[in-house]
Amino acid sequence: MATDRAAVLTAYAVLEDAVAAVNNLDYTGLDIRTLLELQSRRETLKCASAAVDHEILAAAQTQATAKDIGAKDWPEVLHVRLRISREEARRRVRDCDHLGPRSAITGEPLGPVWELVAAALAEGAINTEHVAVITNFFTKVPLWAADPVTVLQCETDLVADARVKTPEDLRKVAADLLYRLDQDGPEPNDDEPDPKRSFVMGKQRPDGRTDVTDVTAELDPEGRAYWEVLFDKYAAPGMCNPADPQPCFSGTPTQEQIDNDTRTVAQRQYDAFKFVGRMMLASSSGVHNGFPVAVVGTCTVAELEKRAGVALTHTGTKLPVKDLVRMAAQGSDNYLAVFDEHTGQPLYLGRAARTASTAQRLALFGRDRGCTRPNCTAPASRSQVHHLINWRDGGLTNIDTMTMACGSDNRLADTGGWTTTMGPDGRTHWTPPPLLDVGQPRTNHYHHPTLYPADNGDDGGESDSPAR
């Protein structure tokens, strides 16, 4: 039986009118018992509506792919159209995979993967937090225990508990059930790569530093062995001391340098860590996404003259201008690009001016700072140069006909139906394909936080006026 589009739209029009009427009710005169009952009813309706979302998304996925619509994947479709976070969009798509209707290869309809969970959600008896706990449980069930009978029994038990327990209590039930299924844990496998290794840096603080609590690392024995050797050499007393007029970076420091070294062991090891990074950049070659494998920073003329203010590196790091100038003078491992404060035009491209493509990329970095597609947070170091008019279609390789785009967005503009133009404000405007166009901003404000959308729509909803 074909879906009656008119009947569906009429039902939703009635629903919208009913919601509007409910929203305009006055609740202030109701007693506490009635108010709590209404809250429970509203929660049930909200939970049940999630099941309808799964049906709609599952039906949409049978008619088109995300690329047909102009997005990277289905979470991106929801992220753009519904203006929800990427994490929430991924959760909804994952829940749809488990709880939405399916079709067999031959076309006949199939029920959800977790039919009991889907039924409880449709009733409004459980919520999305319960679903998240159940999803996490099944991702941890060992394969040898995932036979149909065991899976069905686990689903039955978890849904029964979810109907009467909070997500926190359900999480304890799930942990106990998982323990009873697999008390010994996974079987050791010497051939499996060791996942317990990491090095993570958190975000910068307002003063530009990265606090020790925001840097975490877990070294394997080999990595520790390398750094112990390096620290023995470069973190020894008198080595790599920034307080020395002529720091010792090679050979053996003088006895005077050793005696005058008042740094702690932690400070010496950090100075060594920083020097090894600088030494690696000085000895490396090549480019990444068109940028030199080096520190690339930009600032204005006024900031350069005053040796004050904050420059921005192409990786998104904020760096005091005085430090950037000092780094640019240390050797061939850093690049300094200076731009006019008012026009944004490149005035000096340092050592990179001899290479046209590098100079253009540095200029684009100073202007765009990162991917220009709205909502994208990729910095310049993870972005590519994108021709506003494709080169194969006669596009020119000029500063005013190019922009920065991360790899996936660059492909969207090439084959995903997005179009890019240079606006009169000198900023790149991205127009989405029709099915993704919900009137969202055309330019990316993430890398330019001092700019704000205009109140009127005279320029497509964008403005380069400084924020007040």
- Segment (H or E) for 130: helix 128-140
Predicted confidence at residue 330, as pLDDT, reads 63
Predicted confidence at residue 65, as pLDDT, reads 93
Give the model confidence (pLDDT) of 290-306 as tens digits.
666 777 777 776 777 67
Question: Can you list the positions of beta strands (E) in 32-123?
Answer: 102-103, 109-110
pTM exceeds cut of 0.75:
no
Q: Which of 189-198, 280-289, 360-369, 452-461 has the lowest mean pLDDT?
A: 452-461
Determine the average pLDDT of the residues in 311-337. 71
Question: Is the pLDDT at 188 greater than 80, yes or no?
Answer: no
Task: Label residue 132 by pLDDT band (50, 70, 90).
Answer: very high
Determine the average pLDDT of the residues in 10-14. 95
What is the spatial distance between Cα 53 and Cα 118, in angstroms, rounded to a whole number? 12
Other C-beta atoms lying within 10 Å of the C-beta of residue 246: 8
Mean pLDDT of the chain: 83
Determine the average pLDDT of the residues in 402-409. 90
Give the model confidence (pLDDT) of 357-368 as tens digits.
566 777 788 788
Task: Label residue 348 by pLDDT band (50, 70, 90).
Answer: very low
Predicted confidence at residue 193, as pLDDT, reads 56
3-class SS at 384?
Answer: strand
Determine the average pLDDT of the residues in 324-336. 62
- Kindly give, in sequence order, each residue whose CB lies less than 8 Å from that of residue 276, ignoring residues fewer than 6 positions away: 230, 234
Give the model confidence (pLDDT) of 246-262 as tens digits.
899 988 999 999 999 99
Q: Which of 27-31, 176-180, 353-357 has the lowest mean pLDDT?
A: 353-357
Other C-beta atoms lying within 10 Å of the C-beta of residue 25: 9
Determine the average pLDDT of the residues in 122-131. 96
What is the spatial distance between Cα 397 and Cα 43, in angstroms, rounded to a whole number? 56
What is the spatial distance between Cα 305 and Cα 302, in angstroms, rounded to a whole number? 5
Alpha helices (runs of H) in 235-264, residue ranges in sequence order = 255-259
Give the model confidence (pLDDT) of 139-170 as tens digits.
998 877 778 999 999 999 999 999 999 999 99
Extents of the domains making up the chain: 29-181, 214-281, 287-364, 369-468
How many separate helices (H) and strands (E) can be counted in the chain? 16, 15
Give the model confidence (pLDDT) of 227-246 as tens digits.
899 999 999 999 999 999 88
Closest to 341 measured CA to CA, from 458, 450, 428: 450
Give the model confidence (pLDDT) of 60-115 as tens digits.
999 999 999 999 999 999 999 999 999 999 999 999 999 999 988 877 888 999 99
More confident call, 121 vs 319: 121
Token digits of residue 192: 């499996």
Question: Is the pLDDT at 194 greater than 90, yes or no?
Answer: no
